[in-house]
């Protein structure tokens, strides 16, 4: 396969800023698990607002599900190097250093490969095609070029359908190569001929400056004929670049950390399923919270909690349309409740709003660096997690404060949920961390039920809509009294995880942010100090200590990145602004080379868990916006904003 003398794909080279050097991973001796699997952090994300793919710093697509985020994977060598499937564009030179970056203000990923013989680039992106219409057709474009010297590349495409469980047939035509498996098709189209290698396709190419090669992977394009031209690929490139730059320029954020927030905003957009507005927690399944451990979950679904928190992040950046789309999704889930005694909301859903998330294990997969079992589906979907009602109510209340809910549509169903919370808040649940060690009276669940009832009262009073306000207010105050009496440990001088323990829990960092207690209340300040001594390690925050509070699972985990941002917020509200800013700046150094975060951070700064994680990025946005304001106006400015009710004292 030889490249032609074609112009470069857009005048972007002068715009880019070079990321830090990254040597293509050889983390351990040949044949070891470390050598077979790249670090989780060594990936970039591309997507088309219905699904997404991960690309390594070495030019390998090692994770891709199709046609939706929650569909079976086609490429998953990140979870099994032999059975998972991949698409690689790798340099032939044995000695090569990689630098990876995004084309500024876009989700177009550039992998720069630097070898003694020259410098090459792999440009990866997914064209945005009518994003709000659910479709089976998706495209991944891979452009390859040399900018200095001369380089050779090997290109290999080896899909493995249905999580690597189904075989496929390969048809080689005069133009594209077509992979077929049980109704699923993946077509590989190239500007130059591809060769068959077993049931996969392979080719090599050697390029000089000014030459470019390219290929496109397409799903659901049966019967498509004709050659792929450079003009088609470059037009897709320009259209994709224009989409992302135009979208990001709608941001109203003008604070201190524009670059970090811009990347986080694009990441949240990439994790949004545009046809419904649902936000997935992460685009991946099975990546471990502890390498070699069993905490390997499927996060390709929409958690009511995570997505509710995203409303304030999106509104804080000026993306009102995206916030409104999620709210429509949330209101649709609320309206599904028939008013019976069943819990009104599931804790998570598929992106289309369905709730069939039966958990199973992929026993044939080795798992990332031997981390088994690899799970798809999520058994936590049927857990009782009472906090979700507060997070949902908070999002709806915030939307109302922004004038986004102008009518009473859905109020009856919301009122039914409020009634359900009034009747059911005082019971054990599994908690925010989805523990599998049995139900407890988790304080965070009580806190967020207080939020649900508090926001309901506020909306009813503001709008004059019907609600049994005396009853709801009375139940709200009962929750407050119970938390203050039973959730406080005199011995620890702190609020604790649940009523039967004295273990600390980082979820309670939300208490001042939600307006339950002042950030400078003596009880809160002693709680914050206790957390700082026990849960914080060089600014990074653990959720809790599993050895002190068994959660039904083996092993430990890393620090939880979302909790670090909550900690920063709590420090600022306590008046410790200099410390809050330092911790925030430190946290920025834990991002990967592209500004992306996973769910957790390990002992030596490595990313852990599914990647990238929406929870972390929306936490970064919310905290940066609040910290910006406090640095400008002080933590006690008396500001009352819909995104933070910390100056409102609870009714007694």
| Angle of helix 388-401 versus helix 320-335 axis, rounded to 10 | 130
Q: Give the model's pLDDT for residue 22.
A: 31
- What's the number of CA atoms in the CB half-sphere (13 Å) around residue 505? 28
Is 244 part of any domain?
A: no
Which CATH number goes with the domain that contains 213?
A: 2.70.98
Summarize pLDDT for 63-91 with one digit per residue, the tens.
999 999 999 999 999 999 999 999 999 99
Q: Are 301 and 213 within one domain?
A: no
In a shared domain, residues 207 and 282:
no
Please determine, for residue 638, whether its predicted confidence score (pLDDT) is greater than 60: no
User: pLDDT value at position 335?
Assistant: 81
Read off the CATH number of the domain in which 438 is found: 1.50.10.10
Q: Among 131-145, 323-337, 556-570, where is mean pLDDT lowest?
A: 323-337
pLDDT digits 0-9 by tens, 415-459: 989 999 999 999 999 999 987 678 999 999 999 999 999 999 999
> Contact, 610 vs 477, CB < 8 A?
no
Give the model's confidence band at 18: pLDDT under 50 very low, under 70 low, under 90 confident, else very high. Answer: very low
> What token pair was written down for 338?
């028939």
Identify whether residues 217 and 272 lie together within a single domain.
no
Full 3-state SS string of 136-164: CCCEEEEEEEEEEECEEEEEEEECCHHHH
Question: What confidence score (pLDDT) does residue 550 get?
Answer: 59
Is 19's pLDDT higher than 60? no
3-state SS class at 191? coil
Provide the H-helix boundaries in 522-560: 522-534
Name residue, tokens 């564009």: 89
| Number of neighbouring beta carbons within 10 Å of residue 251 | 17
The residue with tokens 């102008």 is 406
User: Does the residue 647 lie in any domain?
Assistant: no
Listed residues 169, 197, 222: the one ending a domain: 222
pLDDT of residue 644: 38
Nearest to 327 by CA among 301, 350, 307, 298: 307
Number of continuous H segments (helices) and E segments (strands) in the chain:
15, 31
The first and second tokens of residue 557, run together, are 């985990």
φ/ψ (deg, to 5) at 471:
-65, -45
439/564 same-domain check: yes
Predicted pLDDT at 24: 35
Same domain, 269 and 165: no
Tokens representing 423 are 């009747």
Tokens coding 394: 């908070």
Residue 235 belongs to a domain: no
Residues 346 and 458 in one domain: yes
What is the predicted pLDDT for the residue at 447? Answer: 98
Report residue 224's pLDDT band, with 50, 70 and 90 as the boundaries: low
**Confidence grade of residue 222 (pLDDT, cut at 50, 70, 90):** low
Indicate if 294 and 389 belong to the same structural domain: yes
Q: Is residue 574 part of a domain?
A: yes
Domain coverage including residue 535 = 258-633
DSSP-assigned beta bridge partners for residue 429: 440
Shared domain for 186 and 274, answered yes or no, is no
Q: Which residue has the higher pLDDT, 355 or 266?
A: 266
Q: Tell me, yes or no, whether 14 and 128 share the same domain.
A: yes
Partner residues linked to 153 by β-bridges: 91, 205
Residue 652 lies in a domain: no
Final residue belonging to a domain, choices 174, 207, 222: 222
Give the relative orientation of helices 388-401 and 443-463 as an angle to the nearest 10 degrees: 30
Give CA–CA dist 594/571, Å, rounded: 27
Q: How many domains are there within the chain?
A: 2
pLDDT tens, residue by residue, 248-264: 999 999 999 999 999 99
The residue-averaged pLDDT of 151-168 equals: 96
Taken in order 639, 644, 646, 649, the sign of the CA dihedral is positive
pLDDT digit string (tens) for 451-494?
999 999 999 999 888 999 999 999 999 999 999 999 999 999 99
What secondary structure letter does DSSP report for 345? Answer: -
Which comes out higher in pLDDT, residue 376 or 643? 376
Residues 287 and 203 in one domain: no
In this predicted structure, what is the pLDDT of residue 409?
65
Question: CA dist 329 to 153, 349, 350, 449, 459, Å?
Answer: 45, 11, 11, 21, 20
User: What is the per-residue DSSP string for 400-453?
Assistant: HHTT---S-TTHHHHHHHHHHHHHHSSS-B-TTTT-SS--B-BHHHHHHHHHHH
Best CA proximity match to 236, nearest among 131, 144, 141, 145: 141
Quick one: 287 and 218 in the same domain? no
More confident of the two residues 467 and 548: 467
> Residue 159 has what pLDDT?
98
Q: Residues 195-211: what's their mean pLDDT?
A: 93
3-class DSSP state for residue 376?
strand
Residue 646 has pLDDT above 90, yes or no: no
Question: What pLDDT is recorded for position 23?
Answer: 34
**Alpha-carbon separation of residue 457 from 344, 418, 465, 468 (angstroms):** 19, 10, 10, 9
| Whether the predicted pLDDT of 410 surpasses 80 | no
Place of tokens 């092993």: 555
CB atoms within 10 A of CB 174: 8
- Residue 132 resides in a domain: yes
Residues 411 and 541 grouped into a single domain? yes
Mean pLDDT of 372-400: 93
Least confident of 375-389, 461-475, 571-585, 632-646: 632-646
The pLDDT, as a whole number, for residue 482 is 98
Exposure of 173 by Cβ count < 10 A (0-12 exposed, 13-18 middle, 19+ buried)? exposed
Residue 216: HSE in the Cβ half-sphere, 13 Å Cα cutoff? 25
Q: Is 648 helix (H, G, I), strand (E, B) or coil?
A: coil
Q: What is the predicted pLDDT for the residue at 434?
A: 82
Confidence of residue 332 (pLDDT cuts 50, 70, 90): confident
Average pLDDT in the 587-592 region? Answer: 97
Q: Tell whether 227 is covered by a domain.
A: no
Question: What pLDDT does 463 receive?
Answer: 87
Angle between helices 469-486 and 411-424 (to 10 degrees): 40
Enumerate residues 6+ apart whose C-beta is below 8 A from 121: 110, 111, 112, 113, 143, 144, 145, 146, 147
Query: What pLDDT band is residue 156 in, cutting at 50, 70 and 90?
Result: very high
**Residues whose CB is less than 8 angstroms from the CB of residue 280 and which lie 6 or more positions away in sequence, other chains included:** 69, 70, 271, 272, 273, 299, 300, 301, 302, 351, 614
Question: Is 351 in contact with 276 (CB distance < 8 Å)?
Answer: yes
Q: Going by C-beta distance under 8 Å and a sequence separation of 6 or more, which residues neighbour residue 536?
A: 542, 567
Q: Which residues contact 97 (CB under 8 A, 6 or more apart)?
A: 21, 22, 23, 24, 113, 114, 115
How far is Cα 518 from Cα 645, in angstroms, rounded to an integer?
A: 10
For the residues 401-418, what does the mean pLDDT come to?
Answer: 79
In the predicted structure, residue 338 carries a pLDDT above the cut 90: no
Give the model's pLDDT for residue 86. Answer: 98
Residue 233 falls within a domain, yes or no?
Answer: no
């Amino acid at each position: 396969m030889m490249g032609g003398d074609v112009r470069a794909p857009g005048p972007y080279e002068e715009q880019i800023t070079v990321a830090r050097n990254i040597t293509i991973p050889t983390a351990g001796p040949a044949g070891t698990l470390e050598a077979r699997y790249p670090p989780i952090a060594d990936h970039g994300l591309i997507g088309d607002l219905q699904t997404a793919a991960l690309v390594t710093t070495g030019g390998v697509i090692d994770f891709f599900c199709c046609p939706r985020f929650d569909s079976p994977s086609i490429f998953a060598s990140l979870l099994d190097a032999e059975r998972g499937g991949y698409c690689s564009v790798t340099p032939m030179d044995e000695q090569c250093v990689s630098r990876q970056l995004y084309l500024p203000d876009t989700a177009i990923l550039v992998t720069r490969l630097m070898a003694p013989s020259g410098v090459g680039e792999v440009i990866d992106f997914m064209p945005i095609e009518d994003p709000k219409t659910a479709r089976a057709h998706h495209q991944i474009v891979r452009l390859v070029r040399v900018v200095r010297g001369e380089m050779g590349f090997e290109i290999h495409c080896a899909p493995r359908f249905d999580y690597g469980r189904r075989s496929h047939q390969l048809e080689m035509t005069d133009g594209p190569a077509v992979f077929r498996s049980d109704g699923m098709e993946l077509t590989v189209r190239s500007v130059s001929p591809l060769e068959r290698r077993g049931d996969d396709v392979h080719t090599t190419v050697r390029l000089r400056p000014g030459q470019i090669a390219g290929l496109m992977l397409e799903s659901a394009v049966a019967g498509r004929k004709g050659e792929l031209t450079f003009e088609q690929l470059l037009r897709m490139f320009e259209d994709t670049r224009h989409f992302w730059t135009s979208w990001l320029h709608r941001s109203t954020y003008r604070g201190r950390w524009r670059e970090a927030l811009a990347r986080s905003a694009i990441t949240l957009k990439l994790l949004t399923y545009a046809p419904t507005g649902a936000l997935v927690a992460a685009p991946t399944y099975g990546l471990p919270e502890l390498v070699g451990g069993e905490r390997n979950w499927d996060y390709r679904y929409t958690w009511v909690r995570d997505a509710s928190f995203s409303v304030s992040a999106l509104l804080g950046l000026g993306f009102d349309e995206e916030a409104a789309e999620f709210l429509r999704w949330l209101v649709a889930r609320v309206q599904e409740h028939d008013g019976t005694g069943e819990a009104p909301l599931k804790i998570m859903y598929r992106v289309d709003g369905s709730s069939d998330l039966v958990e199973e294990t992929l026993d044939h997969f080795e798992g990332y660096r031997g981390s088994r079992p690899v799970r798809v589906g999520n058994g936590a979907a049927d857990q009782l997690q009472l906090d979700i009602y507060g997070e949902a109510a908070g999002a709806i209340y915030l939307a109302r404060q922004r004038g986004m809910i102008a009518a009473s549509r859905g109020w009856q169903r919301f009122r039914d949920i409020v009634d359900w919370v009034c009747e059911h808040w005082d019971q054990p649940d599994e908690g925010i961390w989805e523990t599998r060690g049995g139900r407890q009276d988790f304080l965070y669940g009580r806190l967020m039920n207080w939020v649900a009832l508090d926001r309901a009262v506020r909306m009813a009073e503001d709008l004059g809509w019907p609600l049994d306000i005396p009853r709801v207010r009375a139940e709200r105050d009962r929750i407050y009294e119970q938390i203050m009496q039973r959730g406080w440990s005199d011995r620890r001088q702190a609020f604790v995880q649940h009523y039967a323990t004295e273990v600390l829990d980082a979820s309670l960092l939300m208490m001042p942010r939600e307006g339950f207690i002042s950030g400078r209340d003596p009880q809160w300040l002693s709680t914050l100090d206790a957390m700082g001594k026990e849960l914080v390690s060089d600014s990074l925050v653990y959720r809790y200590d599993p050895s002190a509070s068994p959660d039904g699972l083996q092993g430990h985990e890393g620090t939880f990145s979302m909790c670090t941002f909550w900690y920063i917020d709590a420090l600022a509200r306590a008046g410790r602004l200099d410390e809050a800013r330092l911790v925030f700046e430190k946290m920025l150094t834990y991002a990967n080379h592209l500004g992306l975060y996973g769910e957790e951070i390990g002992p030596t700064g490595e990313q852990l868990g599914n990647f990238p994680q929406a929870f972390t990025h929306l936490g970064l946005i919310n905290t940066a916006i609040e910290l910006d304001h406090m640095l400008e106006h002080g933590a006690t400015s008396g500001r009352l904003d819909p995104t933070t009710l910390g100056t409102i004292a609870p009714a007694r």
